[in-house]
Structure 1
Amino acid sequence: MTAPAPARPPADALLGWMEGLADPTRLRLLHALERKELSVLELCEVLALPQSTVSRHLKVLSGQGWLSSRRQGTQSLYGYAEDVAPGARRLWLLARAESEGWPAVRQDAERLQAVRARRDGAERFFAGAAGAWDKLRAEVYGPGVAREALLALLPASWTVADLGCGTGALAAELAPRVRKVVAVDQSAAMLRAARRRCAALPNVELHEARLEALPIADGRCDAALLVLVLGYLDEPAVALREAARVLAPGGRLVVLDAARHADAALRRRMGQVRPGFAPEELEALLGGAGLSTARARALPPEPGARGPGLVVATAERVPRRR
């Protein structure tokens, strides 16, 4: 006895699926998302396309049932929908076979591999380092590593963003000195330690999120701090633009990071992407983020520190003209 032929989808469903696959960008998105669940920012990196373009095509594919999505912290992760209709699945298998040899799809796969390796490596590093992070930072940079950032603060009435807060050491130091601390980190392991440390501090607000997509309203903060954070980011300029966005007019951004160095072993030990920054490099990045009066200066290593010196930089968001 022969098996019955599969039911044919209604014409409008079939045409909708064909329309969804009739765009090279959407095919590239499906190739990537079938391999790995990704955020919008990660998809922008994989496809080398602007966020507006990626978001537009994600909306089309999601509306036609090609994608699943879920929340992780403050961001959405997208993936290929496992419960896609059988007819749509057959169309995708055909389209995938015909397009997997495209140069753009191969290049996307290479960039996806880099994104996966970086995400997995960062998660392993911070999960393993959370317990000993404060000791490690003090050993490399000295016990007063956050002092320069604290000295740059102004009135105690300020709301301060601690971006890349790690285990919450700086947020805990800031809390008695300012009205509100909004602390953000993308590592769940680091935030668990920060929550324990700041549990008795009611004016500390903790968020799990990427620094390139802050869960903070425009202009909410009087100051923002990035202390030994930029060296872990592939695109520090994006994080600096986000930091500038959350500043109130006249608000100040303070960056403290490692001075540029050539110690590859230290980079591996600290899990860093970049070998530090020169003062003029930080000034250029701050200016490119739309901030004014950017100033940076090198600091000598603290006594007993085994790592390179530090660079501290400040800049301000231009006040509104009256």
Structure 2
Amino acid sequence: MSHDRVSTTVTVSFPSALAVLRAAAEETRLRILALLFEGELSVSDLTDILGQSQPRISRHLKLLVEAGLIERHREGAWAFFRLAEGRAGLVDPLIAGLERGAAPLCEDRARLEAVRTQRAETAKSFFARLAPKWDAMRSLHVPEATVEAAVLSALGDRPVRSLIDLGTGTGRMLGLLAPLASRATGLDASHAMLAVARANLERTGLSRVDLRQGDIHAPPFARGSFDLVVVHQVLHYLDEPARALREAARLVAPGGRMLVVDFAPHGLEFLREAQAHRRLGFSADQVSGWLADAGLDTLETRDLAPLDRAQLTVTLWLAADTRAAAGAGHPERAVA
């Protein structure tokens, strides 16, 4: 995903435009906007970068939120800020045209890189503690590269406007799919895993993906918000996978699609204790039935069987909400 936003014409009233310009016309707030143009940041990040007290930074952020220039969301006790989608177009040309090589913006960007480097090191340390489990997990099924190639093949070249990865974990699916989308969001219940995902995405230049902390059983988004919903290697951890798919289906826009990736049925009971698996895989008909109950038609089911019979088979389900396609006389099934 590029750092450049799509240029659109934004129409606002004179009072609203005046309020926006007043909010931006202050040194610290303009510096904050320039930093958020690079990606979302926490209050702590901005305090470290700008060298100002937390109460002062919080006051500036409050004014920018009230002006509709930035948005705030929580991850547990943490608050993160990013440019508001609906209003950022008013200030994007200004921010994009700022001279980044001169003070104070050059120093701000240098400190931003230092914050990101520290974040990456923290995430690396956290992930290193989990590495033995993750390595064991990778050895249980076909290579991740094979799964990712199958994902891209199943999705094809259809444009993706808005994408959400539910249970994003380390952000691997976002790293694969966010460059294909105009807008990408990741949701995970674990703040620690979101820290890993944030560092991983920043390292690949995808710093403007929206990461949210939340429950996959109650995702905090409006109905029909995304034209592609991804549930990758999540269901086997859940007590209520059918309920999770119903909630995920609620997010699919008319004519949109859902991609589910998980294990086929297996008998590796040790995974319940060793890696907290609640379910030992799912049959093709089981997940397709849940998708149908949630209002989605399964377009394609694909098994990725390993060469080693001791390993697990990975299954992909591609489903769609065919309401818009049926009404237009273009069955969504023809897309897959």
Please, what TM-score do these two structures have when normalized by structure 1?
0.56
Distance change (3 Å), C-alpha of 1:254 and 1:271: same
Answer whether contact 2:229 2:252 (CA < 8 A) is retained. Answer: yes
Deviation at 1:281, TM superposition (A): 0.9
Equivalent runs, 1:241-280 vs 2, <5 Å: 241-280=246-285
Residue ranges of structure 2 left out of the alignment (5+ in a row): 1-73, 78-125, 329-336
Q: Could you tell me which residue of structure 2 aligns to residue 6 of structure 1?
A: none
Matched residue type, 2:212: H
Deviation at 1:266, TM superposition (A): 3.0
Please give the secondary structure, in 2, of the residue aligned with 1:262.
coil
| CA deviation map 1:21-42 (0-9, x unaligned) | xxxxxxxxxxxxxxxxxxxxxx
Q: Could you tell me which residue of structure 1 aligns to residue 151 of structure 2?
A: 149
Residue ranges of structure 1 left out of the alignment (5+ in a row): 1-70, 75-125
d(CA) in 1 for partners of 2:221, 2:159: 20
Deviation at 1:131, TM superposition (A): 4.9
Deviation at 1:212, TM superposition (A): 0.6
Matched residue type, 1:139: S
Deviation at 1:133, TM superposition (A): 6.0
Equivalent runs, 1:75-224 vs 2, <5 Å: 130-131=130-131, 134-141=134-141, 142-144=143-145, 145-153=147-155, 154-199=157-202, 200-224=205-229
Deviation at 1:129, TM superposition (A): 6.6
Please give the secondary structure, in 2, of the residue aligned with 1:198.
helix
Over aligned residues, Cα RMSD in angstroms? 2.7
Deviation at 1:139, TM superposition (A): 2.1
Q: Could you tell me which residue of structure 1 aligns to residue 317 of structure 2?
A: 313
d(CA) in 1 for partners of 2:149, 2:217: 25
| CA deviation map 1:44-103 (0-9, x unaligned) | xxxxxxxxxxxxxxxxxxxxxxxxxxx8749xxxxxxxxxxxxxxxxxxxxxxxxxxxxx
d(CA) in 2 for partners of 1:239, 1:130: 25
Percent of paired sites with the same residue: 34
Matched residue type, 2:150: E
Please, what TM-score do these two structures have when normalized by structure 2?
0.54
| CA deviation map 1:169-205 (0-9, x unaligned) | 1111212222222111112221110011112314411
Answer whether contact 1:184 1:209 (CA < 8 A) is retained. Answer: yes
d(CA) in 1 for partners of 2:309, 2:173: 19
Distance change (3 Å), C-alpha of 1:271 and 1:127: farther
Please give the secondary structure, in 2, of the residue aligned with 1:175.
helix
d(CA) in 1 for partners of 2:139, 2:309: 6
d(CA) in 2 for partners of 1:190, 1:224: 19
Deviation at 1:217, TM superposition (A): 2.0
Distance change (3 Å), C-alpha of 1:276 and 1:298: same
Matched residue type, 1:146: E
d(CA) in 1 for partners of 2:278, 2:218: 19
Distance change (3 Å), C-alpha of 1:128 and 1:188: farther
Equivalent runs, 1:25-36 vs 2, <5 Å: none
Q: Could you tell me which residue of structure 1 aligns to residue 241 of structure 2?
A: 236
Distance change (3 Å), C-alpha of 1:136 and 1:177: farther
Please give the secondary structure, in 1, of the residue aligned with 2:181.
coil
Distance change (3 Å), C-alpha of 1:287 and 1:235: same
d(CA) in 2 for partners of 1:136, 1:205: 30
Please give the secondary structure, in 2, of the residue aligned with 1:170.
helix
Deviation at 1:135, TM superposition (A): 3.2
Distance change (3 Å), C-alpha of 1:213 and 1:129: farther
Question: Structure 1 residues 138-147 or 183-192, which shifts more?
Answer: 138-147
Deviation at 1:159, TM superposition (A): 1.4
Answer whether contact 1:250 1:318 (CA < 8 A) is retained. Answer: yes
Matched residue type, 1:159: S
Distance change (3 Å), C-alpha of 1:230 and 1:319: same
Distance change (3 Å), C-alpha of 1:149 and 1:207: same
| CA deviation map 1:98-126 (0-9, x unaligned) | xxxxxxxxxxxxxxxxxxxxxxxxxxxx9
d(CA) in 1 for partners of 2:133, 2:149: 17
